[in-house]
Every structure is written in structure tokens, then in C-alpha cells.
Amino acid sequence: MQIDIIGVPIDLGADRRGVDMGPSAIRYAHLHQKLRDLGYTLEDKGNIEVPIQETCAITDPRLKYIDCIIPMGRRVAGAVATSVQAGRFPLVLGGDHSLSVGSIRGAAKHRKLGVIWVDAHADFNIPETTPSGNIHGMPLAALCGLGDPRLVSLWEETPPVIDPKRVAVIGARDLDPGEKRNLREAGVMVQSMEQVDRSGMVAALEKAIHRVSRDVDGIYLSFDMDALDPRHAPGVGTPVPGGLTFREAHLACEVVAETGKLIGMDMVEVNPILDVQNQTAIHAVEFIRSALGSRVWGGD
């Protein structure tokens, strides 16, 4: 299988600068060689064009920088759709999580997807519930058909890209009150850190995969590095204590890989300005490897 690496150096959806350098940090952590070591062929497609923040304006405080985020989402969707339709595996490097309004939409073109969303946050706000107006807190809701019509459709009037009942959020521990209502009403499965602590990562993932993998053409994994405890991933913009351990994150990716249904992946919210010796990006590469089949014993 060929992997298409697609960088999206966007920080417009977040409230901290620096995450636009995430794709470079992940590449610098020997991404290419480590994937070739697994036997994959690669084509690095470079970075999607993203305007810098200084050239964009906030026209709506509840949807910050939306006028610049929408064209980015369209470009990402087109690149990912082209990759999947050619039988390749799109690996999308962020950048903040707003990029997923495009990546998952592109992967879902002409196909039915289940989504595993590994994140400290559910990113299920809409303009009426957001406390910040930051769009990186809205992409999953938009993909499920909720929120501002521009985010929901990007460029065309379509039904929701993803069925909310085929979505599972793993590792959540920081949810806004209105966001919780949105998740419940939509029927999204949330395997919070409490569930992970009580039942273990394997049980939580198996339950999630059972939910999202029925009657689908594939599974898309969107992995936000702030899902990890900040001790393991200091280089993120919105760290929340009490997150996944290094091994739990690996295990999550390993269990997803074992399904044989993974067709694309986001790795987002790596912020090298806040990192320590590129530790977060180095871990991100290892998690990508695990999602693509690497194992301590028998997988390499």
C-alpha cells in the first residue's frame, strides 16, 4: 500500500500559535524512514496551502477565522478524496483539528465510514454552545451535520458526512456543558477517560469498534495528541491532565490496526513551540506506526 502524506499547517482553528509547524515537526521525527521500515511506499504531497493568521479576519467571534478555514477544508477534502479513490492511504498531518472537516469529508466521498476520534475533547461544539469560538472545537459536530451550514457543507449541499451513531470518541475528559448535550442528542459514543480507567483500553476500543464498524466501507482514525497526558505529550495547545499513557495510546492504535479496515488517519495538534526536544512529534510518529501495523513483537 502507498501512503500519501498530506501536511496541513493550520493554526486558525486554535487559540495558540505554533501548531502550524506540526507537520514539519512530525516529518523531522523520521516519519518517512520509519514508515518505509514497515514496508510501505510513500509519496509526500507537501503541504496544503493555508493562509497565515495575519491575513485573515475574525468576522464572527463564535466562528473565528471561518472565511479562511472553509477554503482550507475544501483543499484538504480534495486531496484526501483523490488519495482514497486511487487506492492509497491518506496520512494527514496537522495543524489544528479544524482540518478534519476536510480530511474526513474527503475520505467519505462515495463511501460510508466509521470514525474513531481519539481526543481529550469531543470537538462537538456548535456556534451556540462554543465558549471560545475556536473552530478546532467544532469539526466532529460539522461532520455529523450540526453547526454552521458553511462548515457542514464546505462547498455542496449534502447529507451529514458521517452518521453520528458510527462515531466513537476515545479518551475524552474536557467537555463543555452544551457540547455534552449535543453528543447525547446526536447519539455519539463517548468512551471517556473514566470508561478507559474502569474497563481498560482494549475493552473500550473493542466496544467502540463494534459500534463504528458495522455496515461501513472503512474506518477513519483522527488522533489528537492532547489525548495523552501532558507528561507524555507536552507539545500541544490545549493540554488536559489525566490523559492516556504512552502505552494506552499505542494500544488504541494497535487495536484499530487489527480491524484491517483503517483507510485514513489524521495526526493533529502537535505544537513544537510548546514541546520538549520534539518529544510529542516523536511519539506521534510511533503512534502512526502502530496504526499502520507496527508491533513490538511480530509486526515489524
Active site residue 11: no
Q: Which of 224, 229, 254, 275 is catalytic?
A: 224
Active site residue 283: no
Q: Which of 119, 163, 174, 275 is catalytic?
A: 119
Contacts 24+ apart (CB under 8 A), 196-205: 196/170, 196/171, 196/244, 196/248, 201/244, 201/248, 201/251, 201/252, 201/255, 202/251, 202/255, 204/170, 205/116, 205/170, 205/251, 205/252, 205/255, 205/256
Active site residue 224: yes
Residues 165, 113 contacting (CB under 8 angstroms)? no
Active site residue 123: yes
User: Cell digits for 79?
Assistant: 486531496
Q: Which of 97, 232, 250, 283 is catalytic?
A: 97
SS3 state at 205 = helix
SS3 state at 84 = helix
Residue 111 CB neighbours (<10 A): 14
Position 81, amino acid: A
Distances from the Cα of 118 to the Cαs of 17, 86, 115, 248, in angstroms? 22, 26, 10, 11
Q: Which of 226, 248, 266, 275 is catalytic?
A: 226
Active site residue 269: yes
Q: Which of 232, 269, 275, 283 is catalytic?
A: 269
Active site residue 119: yes
Q: Which of 11, 136, 179, 266 is catalytic?
A: 136
Q: Which of 123, 163, 179, 254 is catalytic?
A: 123
Active site residues: 97, 119, 121, 123, 136, 224, 226, 269
